[in-house]
Structure formats: C-alpha cells, structure tokens
Amino acid sequence: MSSDRPKFYITTAIDYPNSRPHIGTAFEKIGADAQARFRRMHGYDVHFLMGNDENTIKVDQRATELGLGPKAYVDDMALQFRQVWSDLNVSNDDFIQTSEPRHHDGCRKFIQAVYDAGYIFKKAYTGLYCNGCEAFKTEKELENGRCPNHQGQELKRIEEENYFFRLSAFGDRLLAHYRDNPDFIQPESRRNEVYNLVESGLQDVSITRKGFSWGIPVPFDPEQTIYVWFDALLNYITALGYGSDDETRFEKYWPADVHVIGKDITRFHCALWPAMLMAAGLPLPKSVYAHGFVYNKGQKMSKSAGTAIDPMTVYRTYGADPFRYYFLKECVFGGDGNFSEERFVELYNSDLANNLGNLYSRTLSMCVRYFGGNLEGSAAIDPVDWREGLDLDALAAELEGLVGTFEFSQALVTIWSRVLDTANRYVQNTEPFKLIKTDPDATKVVLANMADALRVVAILIKPFLPATAEIFYRAFNFEDAEPWSTVRYPSIARPPMNRPDWTVTAPLADGKPFPLFPKIQPPKES
C-alpha cells in the first residue's frame, strides 16, 4: 500500500455469538461496508474491522448448554458469522475474535496502563445487572423497573468486590471534547442524548468480575477477569496490534475514523470508551456513528422474543444485492427502519426488476439484435443526449457528500430518480426499437448513449450493489477505456478518452442477456 494515500479506519460493533446474526445486525454491517467500499473507490487506504464479542457469560452458558467448551463454541460461531458476511458481500479486511491471544495481550497491557495511571481502584459493590446487556443498570436507566432493551428479563442484584474505573473523573473532559468536536457523535440526535447523559453526572463503573474462568485475567489480580464491556471496546485497538510485539498497523490506522454502532450502545462508545482512552493516554476516535434499529413489521428484532429474522433466509430467497438494496434504500441509516417481506418484494419489482434490470437487458438486447453486439463508430459519438438536464459533475459531488455522511437512502433515491429515470425516459422518447426501421445510424447513437448510461450507473452503485455494478461495467468493453478498479464518482461526467468502439461483452443466452432481477410474486397471505 502506498503511504501517501489517506487512511480510513472503520469498525462495526462486535457481536455476541450466543446465536446467529439477525437482519438488524446485517443492516449495520452493510452500511459500514458501503462506506468502506466508497472510500476505497475514492483512493483511501481502508481498513475495515468486524468481529465477535466472545468473553461473555452468555457465551459460556450457551456453550455449556450444547456440551461444548467455550473456545470450541466461539470458533464455530465465528465461522458461521463470517460466512453470513461473506455471502452478503461485506468486504471487511479483518475479523477479530476476542478470545484470540492478540486481544488478550492488548487488553492486559491496556488495563495495566490505566491502573498504573491511577484510574482503577477496588471496592465492594452492589448493583442491578442485566444479563441481556451484560451491564449494570442505574435506577434512572430503567423503565418500570426493567432494562428498556430487555423488558422480559428480571434484573439481578449482584454483590461483589471488583475493580472500578474512575469514569466520574472524565465528565468535564468529555463535555469539552463534544463541544470542540461537534461531529464526534453522529447523527446529531445521538450527540444530544450523550451530552445530556454526561452533563447529568457520570458514575464510576465496575470493570472486573470475580469467579469466572472464561475471560481475560486481570494482570494485577488474577482472581478477577476483565468485565466484558471494558474488554470488548478494546478490540478496536487490539485488532491493529496494540499490545503486540509489532504495533506498526496500530500506529498507521489509529485513531479510527468512525465506529459504526447501534444506538443502544452509544453511552459505552461515546462516554466510557473515550474516557478509557484518555486514561491510557491514547488518541480518541474521530467519530462514532450510531444507526437506528430495524423492526420486524413494527416489532423490535429480538432473539429472545422470537422476532429476529435470519439474514440468510432473505439472502437465499432473493440474493445479496437485493438484500443490500432494501436495507440501504428503505431504512434511513441514522434512524429506525422496518422490514416486511411484502415491502421487500414491492421494492424489488419496482426498483430492481422494472427499472435497473430492465435498462440493462433492453440496452444489451437491442445492441445484439440490431448490430451484432458491436456499436461500430461509437467511439466518435459524444453521449450527451441521454444526459439532457443532468449536471453530472454536480451530481457526483452531491452523491459524494451524501455517501460520506452515511445518507445512503437519499443517495440511492437520487441515483434512481435523477439518473435511472432520466436514462429510461431517454429510451422511451427516442424509441430505438422503432427508429431502427428507418434510421440505423441514429439508432446507433441512441444505443451508444444507453451504453454510457449503464457505465454511469455502474460507477454510482458500486458501493451499494457491488456484484450488480460490476456486471453492468462488464456488459460492454468499458474496462478497455478505464479499469473498474480505478473508477471514481467524478468519472461519470467524463466518458473515457481514446475509448474504443463499445462492444457487448456480457454473457448471453440465445442472443439475450441473462435476467439480473427476474420479477417475483408477492408472498401469499397466511
């Protein structure tokens, strides 16, 4: 990798592997993946981290239920999680398991550094503990005496002598950081929530547990293990080599450019985590983006309540790119979204089958039927006709701004309404299927314009629908003019210089392209 490229380090929350991921979890990973892909295609040296949170009581309990050792269990679950993310075309560069030696080594170094700095002390403690969150709860965090995220679970009152982190010492420094760095917490609604939380006063937090064999032993007291949240947050630096013999990657990529997390864990990432880093004398991440929840027909996704949906069920039925499109388009990333199969099918048919896929198939079909797939002379055609009313330079800049700030839904609305709709209107107005009967040369101009529209669309959807984007780009010999690996959003405004005549290079069956998005029937009402 070239050292002069700007770096971009993006992470997602690590997941509990007590069961397989649900589509709410997949929503987070796909959003982070779209950002990582966008940054890569614009020249950034991207490092994209995901992983599993394994040093938890729930994992140990689940392994025991299955008659397995915890390490065997988490290794198997890690394989299953990685397969899900691979099938959904998530392009993470690393996947950390917190049971790995690199994580254990880094955690021990970190907690020792904070202890030596005087921010860790030992005391007896009594508190209300939520097994679902694996976190202690204060009275003001409860709703009707229950955890707001796990209403169906009784809170346990736990009495232990543990080590505590002096979180209360960092309130003023955190508030100053929020004021000096207004983009540290995104979107703005989350920033206001965290600011109010910290302003109301922070309590010291328990960071160890006693009597557990599964976990990371505390270096200055081996009878205690590091509490899951203090341990889990450290994955963002241990995965980069913090605490190992070679910290080259850590020095290169830290601080993170953005942690992508769910809105339910903002207080850990926006208050506890930066305070931990301050205590250890390490730089803070540049930003934290807290996305919303995905609901199942209005109900919160919950494994325990039976409302969680396995993303692979949707993937196996409809494919990875339709899955990605639904969640990136239908669910505003900074807010809450909803999933229903009925809406999924409706959006698939209208946006993918009838619009995106139809433009692809009829462009290629006419090129093959009328000109044998070779648009001879098209290199001399300036494809400006289909772009009438479109300022592609301005559009590229607008979309870069939207994608860079995680406004994926609005970016996709813009691509569909202003690019795809423009291209489809051009076909309807020029009617090449009629024009060919009277003016083949004029028809060739129309098809050269349509080919350019496919090129533009391919580049714009690359971060969102990577497989479809590449199919579009390889439909013609666009690669001969500009490699797929080097296209950027500004490329859409300038057809490649010294380009060859466009020739259909897509695989065909009986002279026709394979359908990308065959229409599907709505699910039957139960």
Report phi then psi at 429, rounded to 5: -75, -35
For residue 104, count other CB atoms closer than 10 A to its CB. Answer: 19
Residue 526 confidence (pLDDT) above 70: no
Mean pLDDT of 278-285: 98
Q: What CA–CA distance (Å, rounded) separates 359 from 475?
A: 12
Under the phi-then-psi rule, with left for phi > 0, alpha for psi from -120 to 50, and beta for the rest, what region is 458?
alpha
For the segment 488-494, the average pLDDT, to the nearest whole number, is 93
Strands, E, within 442-524: which ranges?
Answer: 508-509, 512-513
> Quick one: average pLDDT of 401-424?
97
Query: Residue 220's pLDDT is what?
Result: 97
How do residues 115-137 score in pLDDT, each as one tens digit? 999 999 999 877 787 777 777 77
Q: Does the pLDDT at position 411 exceed 70? A: yes
> What whole-number distance in Å separates Cα of residue 363 and Cα of residue 454?
8
Rounded Cα distance between 4 and 392, Å, is: 29
Q: What does pLDDT average to over the chain? A: 92
List phi, psi (to 5°) of 20.
Answer: -70, 160
Mean pLDDT over 69-89 rounds to 96
158-167, 303-312, 316-325, 388-397: which has the minimum mean pLDDT?
303-312
The answer on pLDDT for 485 being more than 80 is yes
158-201 per-position pLDDT tens digit: 777 999 999 999 999 999 999 999 999 999 989 999 999 999 99
25 neighbors 4 (Cβ within 8 angstroms):
no
Alpha helices in 88-170, H assignment, sequence order: 101-116
- Amino acid of residue 447: L
SS3 130: strand
Instruction: Give the mean model confidence (pLDDT) for residues 490-495.
Output: 89
Q: In the predicted model, what is the mean pLDDT of residues 280-302?
A: 86
Q: Is the pTM value of this prediction over 0.85?
A: yes
Q: Identify the pLDDT of residue 301.
A: 53
Give 289 or 523, the one with higher predicted confidence: 289
pLDDT of the residue at 112: 98
Place 2 in a pLDDT band, splitting at 50, 70 and 90: very low
Residue type, 229: W
Residue ranges of domains in the chain, CATH in brackets: 341-513 (1.10.730.10)
Tokens of 199: 């302003």
So what's the pLDDT on residue 151?
67
CA 54, CA 519: separation in Å to the nearest integer? 41
Q: pLDDT-derived band of residue 1, with 50, 70 and 90 as boundaries?
A: very low
* Dist. CA 220–CA 108, nearest whole Å: 9
Widest pairwise Cα distance in the chain: 90
Q: How far apart are CA 317 and CA 323, in angstroms?
A: 10
What count of other Cβ atoms lies within 10 Å of the Cβ of residue 196? 9
Q: What is the pLDDT of residue 306?
A: 58
Amino acid, single-letter form, for residue 509: A
463 has pLDDT over 80: yes
> Is the predicted pLDDT of residue 367 greater than 50, yes or no?
yes
Instruction: Output the six-digit token pair for 16.
Output: 């509990």
Chain segment 219-273, per-residue pLDDT in tens: 999 999 998 889 999 999 999 999 987 889 999 999 999 999 999 999 999 999 9
Residue 510 has pLDDT above 50, yes or no: yes
Supply φ then ψ for residue 504, to 5 degrees. -65, 125
Token readout for 113 is: 């550094």
506: how many CB neighbours lie within 10 A of its CB?
Answer: 20
CB pairs under 8 A, 24+ apart, for 510-513?
Answer: 511/365, 511/368, 511/369, 512/361, 512/364, 512/365, 512/368, 513/360, 513/361, 513/364, 513/365, 513/475
What is the predicted pLDDT for the residue at 299? 63
Which residue type is seen at 518? P
65-97 b/e (C-beta count within 10 Å ≥ 16 → b): eeeeebeebbbebbeebbebbeebbbbbeebbb
pLDDT at 152: 63
69, amino acid identity = G
Which residue's structure tokens are 């040093």? 55
Distance CA 26, CA 303 (A): 14
